A = this chain, B = another copy of it.
Amino acid sequence: MRLAVLSGGVGGARFLRGVLDVIEPTDVTIVGNVGDDLEILGLHVSPDLDSILYALSGLSDEERGWGRADETWNALASAADLGGDAWFRLGDRDIGLHLVRSQLLREGRPLSSVTAHLARAAGLECTLLPASDNPLRTFVETPAGTFAFQTWFVARGHQDDVDAVHVTGAPEAAPAPGVLDALADADLIVITPSNPYVSIGPILAVAEIREALEDRSAPCVAVSPLIGGRAVKGPADRMLERMAGGTSPAHLAACYAGLIDVLIIDEADAQAELPTDVRTVVTRTLMTDDEARRRLARAVIDAAGSPA
């Protein structure tokens, strides 16, 4: 069974670990968000692609929830002492990856090729693709002004309410090589439990990816990032409340109108308002351990095959 998965960072990466436990990794193509990429200290950082790479190669820090295990922070401290930017937390081992990526990009290789190189070197057997090789950059409109994604998310601690999300570069961006083929060839398309606005939204902002989903032949299953109307992590609930008017499964499904067939929701949301145009499947979605992740992955696969 071939899967194409649209994924954000940390939550998506955690979900993908379960997927790769129950599906042959070589049958899985992951299309990762690059709207929150940034250039800092002269490094090209792709936080979502890296969260996926680290999680799937066993390099991620489970306790901290982001970045790498056994991490140190000396390069950033040294750079800060010398006047360099230090607001975006980059660990030393993480910087090692960014150095390799940035150098290959400067040599003229597209991000998809560099990502493939890094994924292979890290031992990934699945395919990891950026949504696009073109620079997409997510900006959020807030009452305090418009901010680049990481400025809002990290530097300002995503305190500001968000009125709108823009992804610059998206209209003219082409899907990275392999993305459209993966969507066309998939037996199942999955949207990870990620923020619909700033994690999945920038992938769908690429017109040809959105069109491929609209015209899909395979079923598309989205997993809700909400439990009881609350985000497990991050500002998805506040954003849904403000921009969609609520945090029910119906409100979430509206973000993916015309793009999904099934929405997987948590038991805690079964009594909330459900969407009328997509099927909902109720299960436990909190990924507390490997078994919980596998169970959720199986639920996604089963949901696609089960009758409406």
Contacts and interface: CB of A to CB of B under 8 A. Distances in A.
Contacts of A76: 96
Contacts of A103: 41-42, 84
Contacts of A94: 78
A99 interface: yes
Interface string A95-110: 1110110110010000
A94 B91 CA distance: 14
Given A42-B106, A99-B41, A121-B82, A74 B72 contact: yes
A55 to B, nearest CB: 16
A75 to B, nearest CB: 4
23 contacts: A41-B100, A42-B42, A42-B99, A42-B103, A42-B106, A72-B72, A74-B92, A74-B93, A74-B96, A75-B92, A75-B93, A75-B99, A76-B96, A78-B94, A78-B97, A81-B122, A82-B117, A83-B100, A83-B121, A84-B99, A84-B103, A92-B95, A95-B95
Interface of A: 41-43, 68, 70-72, 74-84, 91-97, 99-100, 102-103, 106, 117-118, 121-122
